[in-house]
Amino acid sequence: MCRTFPHRSEQTKNSQSNISFDYRREIDEGVRKMDVKGRVALVTGAASGIGRSCAMQLLKEGAKVSICDIVPAEGKKLVESLATVYGKDRVIFCTCDVTDYSQFLDTFRKTAATFGEIDIVINNAGVMNDRFWELEIDMNVNGVIRGTLLAQQFMGTNRGAQGGIVVNIGSNVSMNPYISVPIYSATKAAIVSFTRAFGHQYHVDLTGVEVMALCPVADGKSISDVSKKLLCTQFQEAWRRDVEGSAAPSVELPKPILEAACKNAIVIGGSEGFGFTAADHLLCNGARNVVLLDEDAVEGQNAARKLCDAHGKNRLLFVHCDIRTACQFEAGLRQALCKLRVIHILFNDLDKERLPSSCSSSKKIERNFTAKTIRAGLKILGKNHGGSGGIIINCASIFGFMGWPEAPFPVYCRKEAAIEVTQDFADEHDIEETGVRLVALCPTDKQFCDIGLPDNPDEIPNRIRGKMPECIPKAKYHIGTALDYVLAWAQNGSAWLVEPAISAHQIPRLIHFPENEDEEIDPKVYETEVK
């Protein structure tokens, strides 16, 4: 099983605040994608319930754990039991009342002093009791805030530490409040808003600490004497309806078409920009190997060095080649295929500023990079050529669409017609024969509602030599969420708009095009889609 944990020096690159509703599935995904062996975790409210489960799972994966709880008897008993299995040097107990800042601070100090550092903080301690709502707010909201601020203090790169991860435990009522426990619902909603704010890349860049949330479904049956915890005894019937209404039906989720874990990828133009971010994200999500193809030897080697430092030297290879020169490009692909043996993902960053070609014969240079890479990609990925199948993603920033939304005509930041060429090749090549999906990914600096352009848009500002066009988004990290989504769900020939990230769970938007020249797209199609 391929598992990786972002290197401390690189944890700021692709972090986002993640909101999950399936506790068990998210824990499993986290375990699968993160190697926590040797890491140090501090878990509050860890003597029982979710906190206990988190602590035990971390220990199973090789972490060192500080079990923190307000009930010393239960906490110490648990530590004694776990120490016999995992060793006394890997688990300790700290008496911790999250409403008491000084005691909370001492817990962090003791954990850091015992294990040398802290890598993971899980703010799980909480209570549901609307009758004692002031204590409820202090534990559920203030406790999470205290824990997150202390985590940034002890793990923050701006404090000389190595960075880390904070997981705040919310609830399904964070999104859908129970009318029977309005104050408890408010505290859990506050956790999600707080997490989304501190999970923004702005704060991650400042501290190196990623902040995310898990929102498990509240189990009403496990709560004893619930009548004593409601604000009013008359709320018992409302509680029963809340619990019954929140019971999720047992459904089998569709299997993703493709995931990065244990897959091999080639990233063209990976020395910077979206290409570099895509390579970093793939490695973070468990890709076995990534090959960077770039014509800039200096920047390419620098990028490779950063990624090797972050993810391991055996998982990244840099190949120097000019994709515009047929002989160099084909040789570069053959070298990558020789290294990887099988390739599943080809990511083509068409926003990359290309250096002048070293080839003296202009006849050997194909100007349309999109078509060139698709042809080459189909040869190395296509099942009809002995490949395993997979996906080719053409990434080109977009200025907007003329004729929006009835008959959208894309206007790119650069000259590459990524959408049109991708769709043409998807129509020409039978996916049943090739096993390769062709997808266009179009980042933009505009929100979806502003993507339409007038019939005669202003010229794209690219007149100043060496200056990046203003329409290419400066922030690159949100391409990671879009990349995950298209790997898993995008259909062959589809084009996706990647808006500026305004929240952690934002996904790309599918762009609809008329199938025939005399047809138009009904704008209502976008109103019915999940935003």
**DSSP 8-state class, residue 185:** H
DSSP 414-441: SS--HHHHHHHHHHHS-HHHH-EEEEEE
CATH assignment of 264-351+365-454+472-513, among 3.40.50.300, 3.30.1360.70, 3.40.190.10, 3.40.50.720 = 3.40.50.720
Cα distances (Å, whole numbers) of residue 166 to 16, 174, 296, 359, 484: 11, 18, 37, 50, 22
**Residue 484: Cβ within 10 Å count:** 18
Catalytic, 412? Answer: no
The CA distance from 418 to 394, in Å, is 6
CB neighbour list of residue 322: distance below 8 Å, 6 or more residues apart: 295, 328, 329, 355, 357, 358, 359
Q: What is the pLDDT of residue 452?
A: 92
Choose, from 86, 178, 184, 477, the residue flagged as catalytic: 184
Q: What is the pLDDT of residue 331?
A: 86
Q: What is the pLDDT of residue 311?
A: 81
The CA distance from 503 to 478, in Å, is 10
Q: What is the pLDDT of residue 314?
A: 83
**DSSP 8-state class, residue 200:** S
Residue with tokens 């020409």: 428
For residue 228 the two structure tokens come to 């004593």
Identify the CA nearest to 154 among candidates 113, 193, 98. 113
pLDDT digits over 300-348, tens only? 999 999 998 888 878 899 999 887 777 888 888 889 998 888 999 999 9
CA dihedral over 72, 75, 81, 86, signed as positive or negative: negative
3-state secondary structure of 21: coil
**DSSP 8-state class, residue 46:** T
- 264-351+365-454+472-513 matches 40-245 in CATH topology: yes
For residue 378 the two structure tokens come to 């189909």
Identify the CA nearest to 212 among candidates 142, 164, 275, 153. 164
The CA distance from 71 to 347, in Å, is 52
Q: What is the pLDDT of residue 471?
A: 82
Q: What is the pLDDT of residue 463?
A: 46
DSSP 102-116: HHHHHHHHHHHHHHS
The CA distance from 156 to 105, in Å, is 15
Q: What is the pLDDT of residue 528?
A: 64
For residue 210 the two structure tokens come to 């990623």
Contact indicator for 175, 215 with CB cutoff of 8 Å: yes
156, amino acid identity: G
Domain assignments of the chain as residue spans, ordered by start: 40-245, 264-351+365-454+472-513
CB neighbour list of residue 516: distance below 8 Å, 6 or more residues apart: none
Divide the 531 residues of the chain into consecutive groups of 10 and give the mean pLDDT of each group: 35 34 38 67 95 93 94 94 92 96 97 96 94 94 97 95 94 87 93 93 92 81 70 83 67 79 92 92 89 92 90 87 81 88 94 61 56 92 94 94 92 89 95 96 91 75 53 84 93 94 72 88 79 44
CATH architecture assignment, domain 40-245: 3-Layer(aba) Sandwich (3.40)
Strands laid side by side in the 452-453 sheet: 409-412, 398-402, 452-453
The CA distance from 490 to 259, in Å, is 12
Is 367 exposed, middle or buried, given 0-12, 13-18 or 19+ CB atoms closer than 10 A? exposed
Cα distances (Å, whole numbers) of residue 479 to 73, 135, 276, 278, 347: 47, 41, 11, 7, 12
Strands laid side by side in the 264-268 sheet: 316-320, 289-294, 264-268, 345-349, 390-395, 436-443, 495-498, 509-510
Largest CA distance in the chain: 85
Q: What is the pLDDT of residue 37?
A: 83
